[in-house]
């Protein structure tokens, strides 16, 4: 009886439960998630639009200027970095909003790593969905623009296989970007003391 | 290693102390100034008792409450729970203690907003390693116990304040804790609902034998508490023992002649 508190068994958060909590979290805080996702959507849309435009240009037989390629690569990298900062910012806001929830979880026995896990799953989910949307927007925008300037022959210039490959590329980059951007916010969240649960705003 | 048996004390008095605070001092840094929130508090809490910590805001009431709940560490002095010095516990052991030994109830209910009532109650059990099926069964049982058997799948936002607090109480009971810590449990409730919550806590205290420690300035609590500890300026001002009074009356009545 006396030594009860010393018998330490590991507490656990099964992945299935963590995934469920994170998914609900995205759903219920929909607009917050949209803001977080917007960064990834725009970044990926830009990346895909540049890539798709390159395919169309190549297939249309137009000569591509190699310096143009460099310029675009830089633009894409910079835009993705800007996204990264944007997502981090939105996630940090989200952490400060949830101090009470995080504190409560800790009062219920959550380890720091549980909190990190929840944030990572959530950002991966948002990143995944945002990447798919971003890919679609990017392709759609380029095709629309080219359709106006070149007419229907655009459809012949698209390599559908490659464009589909870009979807996979987008998902990988977008999800990774989202998860990397969450490293700092997740750490901030994990360091939140359990006593934060008791804080009352006046 | 950190176990410090206090068996002498326990056997001589015949009562078992679940929480013991010894000369607890807590200082905070406010800018460059040191503020002493607790100034040497010694308090023993008996297993199974209903204890209220009362005092005006700024008295150190919340600080003491946090110390007892393992949410904060004293600057000097020590807090023992089940004769284990809290200062010796590492983060994992503290988490285990919070999960298994202590149940928390908050002024602002603090249900996880993204989870249903049942899921909220299940969460500490899942942490504790129960399977989902076991957790569901026990969760339903607990929600019925607090009178919410009909609202298992409601989200906190779809529940009234009193109902949310009932879910929180069910959640606090999830892992059969020995102690329930209630921080102003009636602070955000109206008079009648507050009374219901107090009665529920008292009932659980009597039926399940769980020790209840609540920080409050709700005078309705006075009627149900076994002991009331009044805190003022970081010290124990006085301790009122309602049970002792009752016992004495009973003894007198029971004395033949």
Mean pLDDT of A116-122: 95
Nearest to A107 among B104, B115, B155 (CB): B104
- pLDDT score recorded for residue B57: 82
Query: pLDDT digit string (tens) for A14-43?
Result: 999 999 999 999 998 899 899 899 999 999
Q: Give the residue ranges of chain B where pLDDT is below 50.
A: 1-12, 247-257
% chain A with pLDDT above 90: 69
Mean pLDDT of A77-81: 93
Q: Quick check: B104 and A108 CB within 8 A?
A: yes
Contacts of B95 in chain A (CB under 8 A): 11, 106, 109-111
Query: Can you spell out the DSSP letters for chain B?
Result: --B---HHHHHHH---EEEEEEEEEEEEEETTEEEEEEEEEEEEEETT-EEEEE--TTSSHHHHHHHHTTSS--SEEEEEETTEEGGG--HHHHHHHHHHTEEEE-TT----TTS-HHHHHHHHHHHTT--HHHHHHHHHHHHHHTT-TT-TT--GGGS-HHHHHHHHHHHHTTT--SEEEEESTTTTS-HHHHHHHHHHHHHHHHHH--EEEEEE--THHHHH-SEEEEEETTEEEEEEEHHHHHHHHHHHHHS--
- pLDDT score recorded for residue B244: 54
- pLDDT score recorded for residue B60: 87
A65 touches chain B (CB under 8 A): no
- pLDDT score recorded for residue B248: 47
B25 touches chain A (CB under 8 A): no
Q: What pTM value is reported for the model?
A: 0.86
A189, pLDDT greater than 80: yes
Contacts of A32 in chain B (CB under 8 A): none
Q: Which of A59-63, A107-111, B161-165 has the lowest mean pLDDT?
A: A59-63
Q: Quick check: B104 and A5 CB within 8 A?
A: no
Q: Quick check: A104 and B110 CB within 8 A?
A: yes
Give the gap in angstroms from C-alpha B172 to the nearest C-alpha of chain A: 8
- pLDDT score recorded for residue A65: 78
Here the tokens at position A12 are: 């656990």
Neighbouring-strand partners of residue B53: B215, B229
Q: In angstroms, rounded to a whole number, what is the distance separating the alpha carbons of residues B122 and A170?
A: 37
- pLDDT score recorded for residue A69: 84
A8 touches chain B (CB under 8 A): yes
- pLDDT score recorded for residue B12: 47
Q: Quick check: A4 and B110 CB within 8 A?
A: no
- pLDDT score recorded for residue B252: 46
- pLDDT score recorded for residue B1: 46
Contacts of B106 in chain A (CB under 8 A): 104, 197-198
What is chain A's mean pLDDT, rounded?
Answer: 90
Give the gap in angstroms from C-alpha B118 to the nearest C-alpha of chain A: 13
Query: pLDDT digit string (tens) for B159-207?
Result: 999 999 999 999 999 999 999 999 999 988 999 999 999 999 999 999 9
Query: pLDDT digit string (tens) for A126-144?
Result: 999 999 999 999 999 999 9
A196 touches chain B (CB under 8 A): no
- pLDDT score recorded for residue A201: 61
Under 8 Å between Cβ of A7 and B84: no
Residue of A84 and A3 predicted with greater confidence:
A84
- pLDDT score recorded for residue A8: 64
């Amino acid at each position: 009886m006396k030594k009860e508190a010393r018998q330490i068994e590991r507490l656990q958060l099964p992945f299935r439960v963590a995934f469920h909590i994170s998914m609900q979290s995205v759903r219920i805080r929909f607009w917050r998630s949209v803001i977080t996702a917007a960064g990834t959507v725009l970044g990926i849309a830009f990346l895909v639009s540049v890539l798709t435009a390159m395919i169309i240009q190549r297939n249309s037989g137009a000569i591509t200027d190699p310096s143009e390629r460099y310029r675009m690569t830089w633009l894409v990298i910079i835009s993705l970095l800007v996204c990264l900062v944007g997502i981090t910012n939105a996630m940090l806001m989200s952490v400060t909003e949830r101090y009470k929830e995080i504190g409560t979880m800790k009062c219920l026995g959550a380890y720091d790593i549980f909190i990190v896990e929840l944030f990572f799953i959530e950002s991966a989910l948002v990143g995944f969905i945002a990447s798919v949307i971003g890919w679609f927007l990017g392709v759609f925008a380029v095709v629309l623009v080219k359709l106006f300037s070149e007419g229907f022959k655009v459809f012949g210039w698209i390599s559908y296989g490659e464009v589909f490959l870009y979807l996979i590329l987008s998902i990988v980059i977008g999800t990774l970007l989202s998860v990397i951007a969450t490293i700092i916010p997740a750490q901030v969240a994990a360091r939140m003391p359990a006593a934060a649960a008791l804080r009352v705003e006046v | 290693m950190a176990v410090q048996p206090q068996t002498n004390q326990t056997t001589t008095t015949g009562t078992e102390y679940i929480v013991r605070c010894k000369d607890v001092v807590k200082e905070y840094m406010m800018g460059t100034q040191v503020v002493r929130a607790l100034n040497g508090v010694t308090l023993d809490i008996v297993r199974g008792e209903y204890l209220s910590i009362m005092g005006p805001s700024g008295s150190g009431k919340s600080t003491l409450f946090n110390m007892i709940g393992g949410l904060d560490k004293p600057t000097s002095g020590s807090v023992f729970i089940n004769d284990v010095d809290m200062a010796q516990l590492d983060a994992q052991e503290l988490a285990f203690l919070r999960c298994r030994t202590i149940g928390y109830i908050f002024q602002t209910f603090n249900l996880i907003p993204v989870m249903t009532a049942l899921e909220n109650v299940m969460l500490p059990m899942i942490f504790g390693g129960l399977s989902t099926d076991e957790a569901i069964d026990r969760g339903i049982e607990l929600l019925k116990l607090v009178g919410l058997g009909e609202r298992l799948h409601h989200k906190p936002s779809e529940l009234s304040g009193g109902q949310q607090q009932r879910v929180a109480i069910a959640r606090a009971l999830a892992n059969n804790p020995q102690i329930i810590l209630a921080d102003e449990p009636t602070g955000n409730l109206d008079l009648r609902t507050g009374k219901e919550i107090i009665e529920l806590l008292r009932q659980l205290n009597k039926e399940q034998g769980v020790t209840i420690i609540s920080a409050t300035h709700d005078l309705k609590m006075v009627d149900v508490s076994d002991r009331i500890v009044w805190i003022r300026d970081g010290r124990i001002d006085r301790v009122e023992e309602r049970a002792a009074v009752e016992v004495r009356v009973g003894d007198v009545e029971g004395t033949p002649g």
